[in-house]
Structure 1
């Protein structure tokens, strides 16, 4: 039985991602023993209301972090527009590094930094979206002993991201969004 605590949850979404994320966070408990880090592809010149929408959808507060912000358990950190979000030991790093597959923020920098920093504690979640962002990052998480959860492609509004993750590696779980929250709770508690 896997007794590893997996309390660093990185989530990637694009087209259809706002609704998918709202469903996911609406079913998470307020006392979740994990931290979520979310990247959704948005335009660089548009403000993001995603932290507000996610805070309203569920009991866990969501924020746009600032560079160097300490990581707190039981929070949802959403990558701000036009900034990559990367994880360092105990803190969040934001930067305007090169776009990844024409987007910033992108999931791969987040996933890869989480894998490098937190190893097997990391859970990568790939939700609806176009393109193949998060595929390389999912591979990095798996290589460090972390787990990958992929949304059922037939449920995704845009199935390209989930399908790419499925084709590239063997995810640990392929689930409907409504089945993800209970698994995330169990993983955070080492069950």
Structure 2
């Protein structure tokens, strides 16, 4: 009987240390292939493959286009490419960044869900922001076993905490407990194969080729009033597991939380530009007022003083708006941290759901 022989792992900030500990504790005869996405910058060379190879019994290398995924080996997403799997071989996607990242975790999880969710395990570990939670949810819905690092144990809690808030996670484990948990899970028989949602084919293809059409996007979501934070294009709103995410037809994809942050930043930048513009106009008006005074034109000087007062008032109103946005953002972050703290209140190293 086939076992769960594909382990898809996603991590970001703090991921190198987490992967080092995990790989060093896994046996050389591990009966599954490890497909790993860690957010890497394309501007700098990475030695993560040689680091992981030295630590464990399994060889690690950056995945190559078209190679098969073999048991007992670690395949890493190279910088600036999405790592995808079709059940037979690996591919390196040229699609747009998702959640501001390429490689992104969501495309790997979605590709595994589409081809072989019934024999896969999805693992989401330490990291910032929200990448991976959408793909992990889909992987679980397609028969995959889902594992999340305990946010209290993670160097950066946001990524695993977001996955827990989305729900439907099978296991929550500390990093120390994860090698034993995975060693047990990969030896369990694969589940019954289930039909993947039709939209997954399109989303995986977008991550692979970067190609899409407005007609295809209309088939997986509804058009939104939100513009894409990356390209300012039209986005489609996609409801998934009770939460929203957004994607444009160029392939950029974001969680609702990331879109909200991007819009807040955009508003703050626009307001800052407006304040600077009012300040500059007030400074010019002040020079013109002084010039009118020197030339003995009191009525003109009075007009410029009134203009200065108006400009200063308008700048003050915008500064107050910036401060209100800042206070709202802090309150929102505090609320999210409190919610994550409630999610993290678990007594054991491994919790099965």
TM-score bucket (shorter structure): over 0.9
Deviation (angstroms), 1:190: 1.3
Distance 2:117 2:108 in 1: 13
Counterpart residue number, 2:66: 68
Question: Which has a greater percent of helix?
Answer: 2
The residue aligned with 1:133 is: 131
**1:80 matches 2:100:** no
- Which consecutive unaligned segments of at least 5 residues does structure 2 have? 190-353
Deviation per CA, 1:148-191: give whole Å up to 9, x if none.
11101011111010001100022111101111111211222117
Q: Indicate if the aligned counterparts of 1:7 and 1:187 stay in contact, CA closer than 8 A.
A: no
**Partner residue of 2:162 out of 152, 161, 164:** 164
- Measure, in 2, the Cα distance between the counterparts of 1:124 and 1:71: 16
Alignment partners' CA distance in 2, 1:60 and 1:148? 22
Tell me the residue number matched to 1:12: 10
Aligned to 1:146: 144
Shift in Å, 1:48: 1.5
1:93 corresponds to: 91
Runs of at least 5 residues in structure 1 that lack an aligned partner in the other structure: none
Correspondence for 1:106 among 94, 97, 104: 104
**Residues 80-101 of structure 1: CA distance to partner in whole angstroms, max 9, x if unpaired?**
0000000012100102210001
Scaled by the length of structure 2, what TM-score is found? 0.52
Please give the alpha-carbon distance, in whole angstroms, between the structure 2 residues aligned to 1:162 and 1:119: 20
> Which residue matches 1:115?
113
Partners of 2:67 and 2:37 in 1: CA distance: 17
Distance between the aligned counterparts of 1:183 and 1:157, measured in 2? Answer: 20
Give the whole-Å Cα distance in 2 for the aligned partners of 1:143 and 1:170.
8
* Aligned 1:39-50 pairs, distance under 5 A: 39-50=37-48
- Structure-2 change in CA distance of 1:69 and 1:4 (3 Å): closer
Structure ranking higher on relative contact order (CA contacts 8 Å, 6+ apart): 1
CA distance in 2, matches of 1:4, 1:74: 15
SS of equivalent to 1:177 = coil
CA distance in 2, matches of 1:89, 1:188: 16
Partner residue in 2 for 1:183: 181
Alignment of 1:21 with 2:19, yes or no, is: yes
Q: Normalised by the size of structure 1, how large is the TM-score?
A: 0.95
